[in-house]
Amino acid sequence: MTGDTAEGGDGKDVPRSLRSRITGALSSNPVRPAWGLSIGGLVGGGLGFGLGSLVLPIEAAVGAGVTGILVTAIGLATPRGLRSKFTPLTGLIVLVALLLAHLSTGSPLVAGLAMALVMFVSALSVAGGKAVAVIGTVLGTAYFIPAVVGYTADLSTLETVLQGIFGIAAGLVTVALLARFVKPLETPAKPQPGGTGDGATGAGPLHLMLAAAGTRSPLRAYAVRRAIVIGLAVGVYQASGSHNVFWVALTLFAVLSPDESSTWGKALSRSVGTIAGALLLGALAQVLEPQIVIGIGVAALIVGISFMKRNYAVYSAGMAMLIVALFGASDDQFFAWAELRILDTIIGVTIAIASLYLLPYRDHDGPEEATT
């Protein structure tokens, strides 16, 4: 069964309708909400921000807080037996990503090419086995956030390093304190296209990744698609500085997936969740004080993060509510920011879906395939 078909009663594959796609996108996975993970991330982020604000500018302290969230969340999501080893490794990868973002931010061409390279490598990392795939995911996320948000742009190299160290320290401390109380994240196993998955061939991870890069396969097609689309989006954002392009790039980063079915699912979930969350927050803002609205946005994000693996639409709704609350409170234009957020999301998911067909996987002899 391919990512774009469903098996009929006669055993044949039949095209999936838009209705079935929406139903599948809004359904929940059998994974318990990760309340401990989301609360732990907020604790790590707060600690990172507090440490960073002692010696760094406020924007750098925000970056330290984001780093604290990332290190804490990944550390607590890791199985207990691996946390003591993998959490420090995560911190090191995050520090390298911060430095790379610091060096590449400012030039649209350099930023776009660097993003394309990181997206290509992180996508191919699944070919190196499970551990390397996790490292690739950490690298991609840890580079994308500071490179796009730009909280390392005006810092010196020393300030960037300190920003990373404070955030990493906050993450390590938070994981050590909460490790006994927070269960690791449940992640349903999902085969990746064209990857070896377990590295059982005996070849090293780098060799497997190079082999995947040189072989015409759905995995390489996905890596190329992700590199081109997100790299171009980040380059345009660096050149224009438009907040709209920022949200489009963020949507592309979140939605683009290895196969057509996953991309459609993420696109529909993100669209429905964003529309619902933005409109709900905009409506609440008409009758509540801005401070209360921001509090609701923070609470919505906690719920959203907890449900990220269970129902992506709920996560998208929580994220949209916080974003609209923060930006809307600055000028009391909540509905205006809600409309922009919805529009940017629709543009982003449209580009993501279009890329499946404009940059499809083609086998050696047969027609083009957008799925695996």
- Residue 263 and residue 167 in one domain: no
Average pLDDT over residues 84-99: 89
Whether residues 178 and 251 share a domain: the answer is: no
Positive or negative torsion for Cα 32, 371, 74, 104: negative
Q: Which of 58, 234, 68 shows the shortest CA–CA distance to 159?
A: 58
Residue 370: per-residue pLDDT: 44
Average pLDDT of the segment spanning 24-34: 60
Residue the block writes with tokens 């960073």: 52
299 in any annotated domain: yes
Q: Is residue 207 situated within a structural domain?
A: no
Do both 175 and 290 map to the same domain?
no
Asked if the structure places residue 21 within a domain, the reply is: no
Predicted pLDDT of residue 79: 80
Lowest mean pLDDT among 120-129, 172-181, 224-233: 120-129
H or E element in which residue 14 lies: strand 13-15
Would you say 262 and 312 are in contact if contact means Cβ atoms under 8 Å apart? Answer: no
Instruction: Indicate whether 321 pLDDT > 80.
Output: yes
Residue 232 lies in a domain: no
What average pLDDT does the segment 285-297 reach? 88
Using the predicted structure, report yes or no on whether residue 45 has a pLDDT greater than 70: yes
d(CA 291, CA 295): 6
Residue 126 gets which letter from DSSP?
Answer: G
Residue with more model confidence, 50 or 312: 50
254, 171: one domain: no
Give the number of domains in the chain.
2
pTM over 0.75: yes
Q: How confident is the model at residue 362 (pLDDT cuts 50, 70, 90)?
A: low
Residue 196's pLDDT band (cuts 50, 70, 90) = very low
Distance separating alpha carbons of residues 335 and 162, to the nearest angstrom:
38
- 36 and 180, same domain (yes or no): yes
| Average pLDDT taken over every residue of the chain | 81
* Residue with more model confidence, 4 or 264: 264
| Number of Cβ atoms within 10 Å of the Cβ of 29 | 13
pLDDT at 257: 87
Pair of tokens at residue 133: 């795939």
Q: Of 22, 19, 26, 21, nearest to 311 (Cα)?
A: 26
Residues 6+ apart with CB under 8 A from 4: 15, 16, 260, 261, 264, 370, 371
- 221: pLDDT strictly greater than 70: yes
The angle subtended at Cα 93 by Cα 318 and Cα 170, nearest 5°, is 60
- Domain range for 260 is 242-366
pLDDT of residue 308: 76
